A and B are shown apart, each in its own frame.
Chain A
Amino acid sequence: MIQVSGQIIARFYRLAILLLAVSILLEACTPAATQSPAPGAVATRSIKVIATTTILGDIVKQIGKEAIELRILLPAGSDPHTFEPAPQDVIAVAEADLVIINGAGLEGFLERLLENAGATQVVSASDGVELLQMGDDLTGAADPHVWFNPLNVLIWTQNIERGLSDLDPANAEHYSANAEAYRAELHQLDAWIEEQVTLIPPANRKLVTDHRTFGYFADRYGFDQVGAVIPSSSAAAEPSAAALAALEDSIRELGVQAIFIGTTVAPNLAQRVATDTGVQLVTLYTDALTDPGGEAASYLELMRYDVSAIVEALK
């Protein structure tokens, strides 16, 4: 009897999946012209935009504001390097009008996702950003953490503004005004950080992190990325014993005072290294924002928090 019920349940699920697939196909195949507003008319509904990371999403929201319906793919606190999209994510991408990605190789999962979801408009926020290489030992791979240099985020705003306006020309002025305002704030942030950094004696401007996140920050503000517990831009990699030993040697020889770790990566190894070398372990926000109300609920807050923590630890 149990066998028979199992067959019925299996058939039910197959039917349900079939219906779901059919509805997705219908949505995806409907030409976009019937959905976007007629040129010249005021937008009757907001466009659906997907941003991949929470950091990116914050910038997009600052520019789009009420004119867009924003959905962020990666939940708060999750790690873009190890993110696995669920079926709901595929559906969301298929239904969206525009997908904005970080680019620079951060979204390793994206190619397959776009294949599954069918063609959608994609804008890479980091288009035109001067990419830095990972480290001397890893040739070819670019460091995707471009947002740690606010000047790169300026380029983001340009790409995002253009992308939104192309899709929704009716609100182009709206987007333009918001983008300008935000750019002013970014310049302010940049100036503030420069000022803060002067509080750290030049000899102490050394960063040891859990994975290679601060390349662009180091480049802009004159720091030295001395080493990382995981010598890769992806937190999913594993360090070898020799690499860990080399890191501990560097920490000791260079007199590094703190190891900075992110909140999305398990801290175990970093804790071991910190205890063994006797340095401080400081938690920063690196790849994702906190929930609203948290310490790093927006990009600007995240940068302010991180810079303050870095200055506090190294000065």
Chain B
Amino acid sequence: MIPLVDLLLDPLNYPFMVRGLLATLMVGVVCATVGTYMVLRGMAFFGDALSHAILPGVALGYLAGGSRGSLFWWGMGTAILTSMGIGALSKGARVKEDTAIGIIFAGMFALGIALISTVRSYTVDLAHFLFGDVLGVSGSDLVRMGIFGGLIVIAVLVFYKEFLVLSFDPTLASTLRLPVRFFEYALYLLIAIAIVVSLQTVGVALMVAMLITPAASASLLTRRLPVMMSLAAAIGALSGAIGLYLSYYINIASGAAIVLTCTAFFALAWLGRTIQRAIV
């Protein structure tokens, strides 16, 4: 019988596992924090769209011959522009927000694929972009994640009550003369940064799960917002760690393992809630 401690410590003999673990822990916390607001405000589609819309920026970075570090900034710039664009388009009131998101999502993603197709080599990096490359996280990647992830968490804490009022009752926010537009765009910005920071762990295709699923699980388990956010962060981090260990021991893709763990947690929470309702 292999003691549990060995199971936990063995993979950590390899630096790439340690780095991967740190990355997934950070990503779990950061994504769940902004994801809480996304769940409460029904922004899952927005999150998915924004993840995909980063592709042309990254492709341009490749074409410009950038280093891996610069690709981060290319992605960041594109994410910020896209989120502001969606915000502006849907405020225009000619097009519903759902439609605006769909249009920009598909258009940007197609642009990215078109750009990548002109670069006949390095197409395997497209796969990394789509599905994650957590085993390839470097030390400098971790530092970037830490700095920006930290900024996001701090911003959410500092503006906690403003985001709360904005999400629950935007009319109250207006009558209290809060700068509503500013905070809405600020929230979009935080989501954009969270996505770019987290992209390396699960990739574009599964990013929305890291944002939404832990927060959704938490929403089933508590009725208080601070608890919901903390619980979401804990579930996100735990899912990241468990997923990574799973991928190590049973040989499956790490990104998918992490998301499957998030989903399993949700299923447990949902079951628990259903049983509780049936008993009470």
A residues near B (Cβ < 8 Å) are: 74-75, 77-79, 82-84, 86, 235-236, 238-245, 248, 263-266, 268-269, 271-273, 276
Contacts and interface: CB of A to CB of B under 8 A. Distances in A.
Contacts of A86: 117
A245 B136 contact: no
User: What secondary structure prevails in chain A residues at the interface with B?
Assistant: loop
A242 B248 contact: yes
A78 B124 CA distance: 11
Given A269-B136, A273-B16, A245 B11 contact: yes
B82 interface: no
Contacts of A84: 117, 123
A86 B249 CA distance: 40
Nearest to A230: B124
Given A241-B248, A243-B251, A272 B120 contact: no
14 contacts: A77-B120, A78-B120, A79-B120, A79-B124, A83-B120, A238-B127, A239-B135, A240-B252, A241-B20, A241-B254, A242-B249, A244-B16, A248-B16, A268-B128
B248 A272 contact: no
Given A238-B253, A276-B15, A244 B135 contact: yes
B128 A241 contact: no
A18 to B, nearest CB: 23
A77 B248 CA distance: 33
Contact of B17 (A74, A245, A265): A245
B182 interface: no
B121 A78 contact: yes
A74 to B, nearest CB: 8
A236 B124 contact: yes
Contacts, number: 76
B121 A264 contact: yes
Contacts of B136: 268-269, 272
B261 to A, nearest CB: 14
Interface of B: 11, 13-17, 20, 68, 117, 120-125, 127-128, 131, 133, 135-136, 138, 244, 247-249, 251-254
Given A268-B136, A272-B135, A82 B124 contact: yes
A266 B133 CA distance: 12
A263 B122 CA distance: 9
A64 B122 CA distance: 32
Nearest to A83: B120
Contacts of B244: 241
Nearest to B254: A241
Nearest to A238: B253
A77 B254 contact: no
Nearest to A236: B124
B120 A75 contact: yes
Contacts of B120: 74-75, 77-79, 83
Given A79-B121, A272-B135, A272-B136, A240 B247 contact: yes
B138 A272 contact: yes
Contacts of A236: 123-124, 127
A86 B117 CA distance: 9
A2 to B, nearest CB: 13
A238 B255 CA distance: 12
Contacts of B11: 241, 245
Nearest to A211: B124
A315 B51 CA distance: 48
A243 B131 CA distance: 18
Contacts of A79: 120-121, 123-124
Contacts of B117: 84, 86
B14 A240 contact: no
Contacts of A266: 122, 124-125, 128
A266 B13 CA distance: 25
What 4 pairs across the A-B complex have the smallest Cβ distances? A78-B120, A241-B248, A82-B123, A268-B136
B14 A248 contact: yes
Given A77-B121, A245-B14, A269-B136, 8 more contacts: A79-B124, A82-B124, A238-B131, A239-B135, A245-B11, A263-B121, A269-B135, A272-B136
A218 B68 CA distance: 33
Contacts of B20: 241
Interface centre among A75, A79, A272 (most CB of B within 10 A): A272
Interface centre among B11, B13, B120, B133 (most CB of A within 10 A): B120
A156 B208 CA distance: 50
A79 B17 CA distance: 29
A241 B127 contact: no
B121 A276 contact: no
Contacts of A83: 120
Nearest to A276: B15
A239 B125 CA distance: 14
B8 to A, nearest CB: 14
